[in-house]
A and B are shown apart, each in its own frame.
Chain A
Amino acid sequence: MSASSNKGGLGVQPSTAASPAGRRINLRKYNPLALSISVILWAVLGLFILYPLYKLLHLALIRDGALKFDSIARILSRKGNRLALYNSLKLGVFVACLSTFIGFIFAFARTRANLARGWRWFIDAIIILPLISPPFTLALGMLFAFGPTGVLTYKLLGIQGASIYGMWSTISAETLTYFPLAYMTLVGVLENINPSLEENAFSMGGSRLHVFRTISLPLSIPGIANSLLLVFSASLADFATPLVLAGHQFPILPTQAYLQITGLFDLRGGAALSFILLVPSLLIFILQHYWVSRKHYVTVTGKASSGTPTRLVSPGARYLLLFVCLAMSAFVLFLYGMIVFGSLVKAWGANHEFTLVNYRYLFTHGLKSIKDTLFIAFIAMPAGGLLGLIIGYLVTRQEIPGKRLMEFVSLINYALPGTVVGIAYLLAFNDPPIMLTGTATILIAAYVFRYSPTGLRATIATLQQIDKSIEEASTSLGANMLTTLRKITVPLILPSLFAGLEVTFTRAMTAISATIFLISVNWTLITVRILESATELELGNAAAFSVFVILTVYLVTNALRLVLRLLGLTTLQEKTALY
């Protein structure tokens, strides 16, 4: 054996490393296939994310080719709009705090109170309900329970014409809708706090409250901040609940923008209101994307700690926690029960005789919306799932120019309130060159680009956890690129694809805020029918539609999970799957 650190000797040409090497690296750096796919993706992202956003900003901010804020000023000069802005922020703060508080109690009970398996299962099942139902289901339930002909208000208490509409009922319904989101965020964080920290503090003689105050709580602060941000922006964007429950006394931004466009046909005003809504949402998203979630990932990938201390929670506190969780869950369940009940009676509040007439309506007058919705959802599902998968794979595993930017742009429609996206699509695709209004395409595109980011994030998170060496191992054992993709990479990221499929389908069945601007005579959606029925107080129909949606989503998502299990793969954990 001979060796030399070739300081010019050995007769081997000391090739000038810099220039030819530089060229070779550059050529090899971009895989041609990856490069062409990324070009196509940029075109698609440009068309369905950047272009509508541009149209919206242009209409809101540019007049006669110059940047002018007069549209914004005009909108804000109206007292109703200023009130809506104030209300929106107030609503967001209330809902964020309440949801996070309740979510924390649930998460704490789940991770620290040593609940029996049955209870944990029950809590998890309840938590999942609001996530698979149309966003205003709980608002509907509130109407059934507390509305003018509500079970509690009218039947039980005999109050005539009780007014449920307004701020507090909106806050309640949104809190019930969004506390599962807070819970999901916090459970991950609490699970990852090393129990020995708490044990230590405890064995050093700290009281339970002291340990909680000095260890558990401070360590969950990042999770709490994350949860506050998430719920705040969800509430800020929520359109459906306020439309059902807020009434005229409590205007908020998304409903105001909706009325501006559908009531007053004032596109510029709608765009200006959207802009006002867009700024805080985007700011929160950027904060999230670059700060909170980055830190969050690290903890989520860490090993879940086993054996959480049971001593931290005294028996009394345990029962209290259990009681609070069960009471809340029971209430949520009660509201859902109301909806099922309401779908099966003749006239809510007046005649509670059993009937299937609402379901007959569903499959006659409602049939078109059902067909349309299913068609759109079943096309959006694979499209959204694949889009997330492909972008996620490209930005984590391939060298392509501007991949960070691509990731960010892909997430924009997800970060923006649905109302903003809907108005932007309306502005972008109503006129030539690209006329899509009235087609199914525009609805599908709205869902695909708004909800593929879940699958995208899951893919990225999964791929970041799958070390590159696993693929290299396959290669050096003799597999070519396709074989490696087929036998190693795909099976490993299939769970994230399925998470993407699940979420895109669920949202395509349930979401309304963006697509309400995009429906037409040709294409309509179940959620829109529910909303119409609810505002016209045909609650029986609304309830039957809702039950149908919930069952469909439940069946399809479980079918997807079954497929995954049959393939011998485990599902992603619920918490990563849904957000």
Chain B
Amino acid sequence: MKKQQPTSIRLENISKIFYDRSRNAEVQAIRPLTLEIKPGQLTTFLGPSGCGKTTLLRLVAGFEEPTTGKIIIGGLDQTNIMANKRDIGFVFQNYALFPHMTIYDNVSYGLKLKRLSPSKVKEAVGDVLEIVGLSGMEKRFPNQISGGEQQRVALARVIVTRPRVLLFDEPLSNLDAKRRIQVRMEIKELQQMLSITSLYVTHDQEEALAISDQIVVMNKGTIEQVGTPQEIYSRPKTVFVANFVGKTNVWAVRIKDNRNNVVEPERGGPAFRVLESLKGFAKGEKAFALIRPEAVKVAPLSSAEQEHLRGKVQALTYLGEKVEYDLEVGGEKMKAVVYDPQPKTVFKPGENVAVILPEERISIVSH
């Protein structure tokens, strides 16, 4: 299969309101949002249950109509184009294979609709089954193959038609953990090989970090942050993103000096400097300081040369490759993770320690 010219997607001021008959109320599944997706990229939508990920995907696919806004695919307004004319492949969470058709008939379904000659259909199906490693299973029915194989059939069924866009709605959630890691890499490889613009829904942060070019973190129908996996992890823009993607320490601060980047904890304690520019904040404004547990350094009080805070170990979990500490620092709880701990340097509960917060690792986000 050869590459095709990848397609861009633009969602313009899209929103979706459902009408919930049982409660006789409106549900705002998507609040107005605008989003641009570069051609050939794999973008994941990451967020908790009910935040509108599936809805957004279904809007792009054309299964739902947006309440407001436009969907532009490949530069053309597709808002009023029916789902069957959009040339989009959708991989469903439950695979949605046609239970009364063989694997061959499932995979050739879209091609036959395009009125390809039987020999071409046969060739294309053979090729794609080879790619997903299912050659020889043509005559079986969906209930005669394993979950992982069904997943591949679902994938083969859409890529064989060479859609402009691939949409995945939690495609791995029915697989066991080991298969999931394997299949997600296969999806990523396939997507890159065909360079098809892809949207991928998941609520598994690790999955999102592993396969995405871009991550869109969603919450309650809005976008919290868009960025590469590294940006999302290392520079979360909101407390929600920081908590949803990985673990984080959060404490309330007030901006003391917005020119020299100094903040002071709300509950007292020494003020400290951060590397991040605070120009966007007003003096005295409330904010949150964030730091990842693995960025927090813990050292013996005696040997600490750097600027440090005094902390006390409250509890610890020893996990071999790492130790997780629950610390108390200036009246705030804080978590720290130390990798590759040496037996001598593991602190004990009740021990006083020096807690070092590298200024370049602290993010300040607005309230």
Contact = CB atoms under 8 A, between A and B. Distances in A.
A311 B62 CA distance: 55
A314 interface: no
Nearest to B113: A478
Interface string A435-472: 00000000000000000000000000000001101101
A492 B98 CA distance: 9
Contact of A17 (B68, B85, B216): B68
A2 B214 CA distance: 11
Interface string B229-259: 0000000000000000000000000000000
B187 interface: no
A21 B67 contact: yes
Contact of B34 (A4, A473, A568): A4
A25 B17 contact: yes
A114 interface: no
Contacts of B356: none
Interface string B18-53: 010000001010011111111001010000000000
B100 interface: yes
Interface in A479-533: 479-480, 483, 487-488, 491-492
B161 A12 contact: no
Interface residues of A, number: 39
A3 B96 contact: no
Interface string A1-28: 1111110001011110110011011001
A475 B83 contact: yes
A568 B99 CA distance: 12
B158 A477 contact: yes
A25 to B, nearest CB: 6
B113 A3 contact: no
Nearest to B62: A476
Contact of B15 (A1, A17, A466): A17
Nearest to A5: B222
Contact of A492 (B19, B62, B87, B99): B99
B109 interface: yes
Band of interface residues on B: 35 or more
A288 interface: no
Contact of B68 (A21, A477, A480, A568): A21
A569 interface: yes
A21 B94 contact: no
Given A470-B96, A478-B110, A1 B161 contact: no
A3 B34 contact: yes
Most buried by B among A2, A6, A17, A483: A6
B199 to A, nearest CB: 12
A403 B7 CA distance: 42
Contacts of A310: none
Contacts of B17: 17-18, 21, 25
B339 interface: no
B86 A479 contact: no
Most buried by B among A28, A470, A488, A569: A470
B163 to A, nearest CB: 8
B203 interface: no
B96 A479 contact: no
Nearest to A492: B100
Contacts of A4: 33-34, 223
Contact of B32 (A6, A473, A475, A477): A6
Contacts of A492: 99-100
B94 A467 contact: yes
B110 A3 contact: no
B92 A469 contact: yes
Contacts of A474: 98, 109
Given A1-B214, A5-B222, A467-B96, A477 B109 contact: yes
Most buried by B among A6, A474, A476: A476
B19 A25 contact: yes
A207 to B, nearest CB: 39
A488 to B, nearest CB: 6
Given A28-B65, A473-B92, A478-B84, A2 B100 contact: no
B94 to A, nearest CB: 6
Nearest to B37: A1
Nearest to B154: A473
Contacts of B226: 1-3
A267 B345 CA distance: 99
Contacts of A473: 90, 92, 96-98, 157
A434 to B, nearest CB: 35
A477 B113 contact: yes
Nearest to A478: B113
Nearest to A399: B21
Given A1-B38, A4-B223, A28-B65, A477 B12 contact: no
A568 B36 contact: no
A472 B63 contact: yes
B89 A476 contact: yes
A569 B100 contact: yes
Contacts of B157: 473, 477
Interface in B113-152: 113-114
B78 interface: no
A24 B67 contact: yes
Contacts of A25: 17, 19, 67
Interface in B200-218: 214, 216
Contacts of B224: 5
Contacts of B191: none
Contacts of B214: 1
A479 B84 CA distance: 6
A472 B96 contact: yes
B13 interface: yes
Interface in B63-92: 63, 65, 67-68, 82-90, 92
Contacts of A469: 92-94, 96
B37 A476 contact: no
A472 B90 contact: yes
A472 B58 CA distance: 10
Given A21-B68, A472-B63, A10 B161 contact: no
A476 B67 contact: no
B113 A479 contact: yes
Contacts of B63: 472, 475-476
A314 B166 CA distance: 58
Nearest to A473: B96
Nearest to A2: B36
A29 B226 CA distance: 34
Nearest to A483: B113
Contacts of A10: 13, 34
B287 interface: no
B61 interface: yes
A478 B87 CA distance: 7
A201 B206 CA distance: 41
A488 B96 contact: no
9 contacts: A2-B34, A3-B35, A5-B223, A12-B13, A17-B15, A21-B67, A470-B96, A472-B83, A477-B84
The 9 closest A-B pairs by CB, nearest first: A477-B110, A3-B226, A469-B96, A5-B222, A21-B67, A12-B13, A473-B96, A478-B113, A6-B32
Given A473-B98, A476-B90, 8 more contacts: A3-B35, A10-B34, A472-B83, A475-B82, A476-B89, A479-B109, A479-B113, A483-B113
Interface of B: 12-13, 15, 17, 19, 26, 28, 31-38, 41, 43, 61-63, 65, 67-68, 82-90, 92-94, 96-100, 109-110, 113-114, 157-158, 161, 214, 216, 222-224, 226
